[in-house]
Chains A and B, each alone.
Chain A
């Protein structure tokens, strides 16, 4: 094991704590505001407050994007290898994913005391028959954990990708990807027609994803594959990353 892994993990763990704490304080504040507004204006506390798991995943995605560059620069400042920096970041993110699964659950339980709040997992797989309670718990845990961790891995990969790109490429990707998805794709679909191979391939992909996610184990496998893919890609990007002045 690298001599710098433990210190690097400690630094990342400490650095992430602040953001995570702020996130949950904001969530709690929003919940309290929602509760107060409902009591004042509607006269009851029968509000709907759910989706914390999804919001937490988006938070972790954004955190993954934004932490890449400052973390790498701090690794350079302290002469830490890129490999150790990558491993310690992933270990820290995995630890926080673990903690956040239970924090999210705690929030859902808290919200459910005063409003209509339900676990996202239960909402998605209410019709699915699990062998027993333990299997359901384990599946729920893996689903939530991998959802959070894959969001972070995707964010970290995007952060690494942007770090490695030059200014021109950054602009091209930032403008090009949304343009292709929002303008190029509808035009292409209209141009090729619904019976074309192009459109059929897109539909088949979407269908595959929907069917995979419809099954909790399929969703877990998909998230696990995403974690593996994004981690490998991010490592390939970081392993030769040079210091940048800006």
Chain B
């Protein structure tokens, strides 16, 4: 069992509330998308869970154990940070070896295989890596750690399209082979939406959504057509947001609709996760 529970967690930096009364449960063996705009509190949330920051108020528990300064609970967590926490002079292979010391389940062969697939030279020092490879070696660490709970904070930062695809594929393969709780904090929502099972959205430090991806997507629809027709159709409905391009308009509407309810001059479509996210966080 690897369940993380946050009870009313608030984190303040001076007068700024980075997290404001967040209560959420990350269930075992699920892939979560932790979404939010810049400064919404995503990294702070991951840092609080992984004991890098102390909550000002509230508590984090892992499998019922208090996480704060608790090595037993924390040994179940691997948190890939977007920042580099290793000395610049260390070689990638030295970091692999060190991580193996902390995480006995760390799969060195798998780490070497992934390094080969990504084209990462493990004899290179951290300071010699490009931005993309700085993310790649941390992705490999996280996937190879075999920790029951793995956080990815901006994992695809600086990665090209090929490497991003390779990451998503490696993540799915790993999850199929050895399920774990994965929490992915990312801005590239549309790319990750296919693998995210549940969505957690933060806005200005507050939790505004915590639902299964399917439920979120089923909870809304989009209609597009001429602005007048769309406006007419939207009357009395709960509009999440709208895009206007010239005379054309797309409205994102909360709720469900049957196709036969849609006028012929309008087109019905499913809103993608990114669109819903934009509407929710704007």
| Interface-side segment among B95-103, B157-165, B215-223 | B95-103
Asked if A74 and B71 sit within 8 Å, CB to CB, the answer is: no
Asked if A73 and B85 sit within 8 Å, CB to CB, the answer is: yes
Top 7 closest A-B pairs, CB basis?
A: A77-B85, A243-B52, A78-B102, A79-B74, A4-B71, A2-B71, A73-B85
Tally of A-B residue pairs with Cβ under 8 A?
Answer: 66
A7: nearest residue on chain B (CB-CB)?
Answer: B101
B-chain residues with CB within 8 Å of residue A4 when the two chains form the complex: 71, 74-75, 102
Bound CA–CA A129/B52 (angstroms): 53
B-chain residues with CB within 8 Å of residue A77 when the two chains form the complex: 79, 81, 85-86
Q: Which single member of A2, A73, A84, A243 contacts B86 (CB below 8 Å)?
A: A73
Bound CA–CA A170/B14 (angstroms): 19
Question: Which residues of chain B from 69 to 114 have a CB within 8 Å of any chain A CB?
Answer: 69-72, 74-75, 77-79, 81, 83, 85-87, 98-99, 101-103
Asked if B74 and A80 sit within 8 Å, CB to CB, the answer is: yes
With contact pairs A10-B101, A74-B98 given, residues A242 and B52 touching in the complex (Cβ less than 8 Å): yes
Bound CA–CA A38/B103 (angstroms): 53
Residues of B bordering A, CB below 8 Å: 47, 50-54, 69-72, 74-75, 77-79, 81, 83, 85-87, 98-99, 101-103
Chain A binding site: helix, strand, loop or mixed by DSSP?
helix
Asked if A11 and B98 sit within 8 Å, CB to CB, the answer is: yes
List 22 contacting pairs A-B, 8 Å CB cutoff, sorted by A. Answer: A2-B72, A4-B71, A4-B74, A4-B102, A8-B102, A11-B101, A70-B87, A73-B85, A74-B98, A76-B52, A77-B79, A78-B78, A78-B98, A78-B103, A79-B50, A79-B78, A79-B102, A81-B51, A81-B69, A82-B69, A240-B54, A243-B85
- Residue count of chain A within 8 Å CB distance of chain B: 24
Asked if A243 and B101 sit within 8 Å, CB to CB, the answer is: no
With contact pairs A74-B85, A74-B98, A77-B85 given, residues A83 and B69 touching in the complex (Cβ less than 8 Å): yes
A-chain residues with CB within 8 Å of residue B72 when the two chains form the complex: 2-3
**Closest approach, in angstroms, between the C-beta of A244 and any C-beta of chain B?**
9
With contact pairs A10-B101, A243-B52 given, residues A80 and B71 touching in the complex (Cβ less than 8 Å): yes
Instruction: Indicate whether A195 reaches chain B with its CB closer than 8 angstroms.
Output: no
Q: Which single member of B54, B79, B87, B101 contacts A79 (CB below 8 Å)?
A: B79
B50: nearest residue on chain A (CB-CB)?
Answer: A79
Bound CA–CA A4/B147 (angstroms): 14
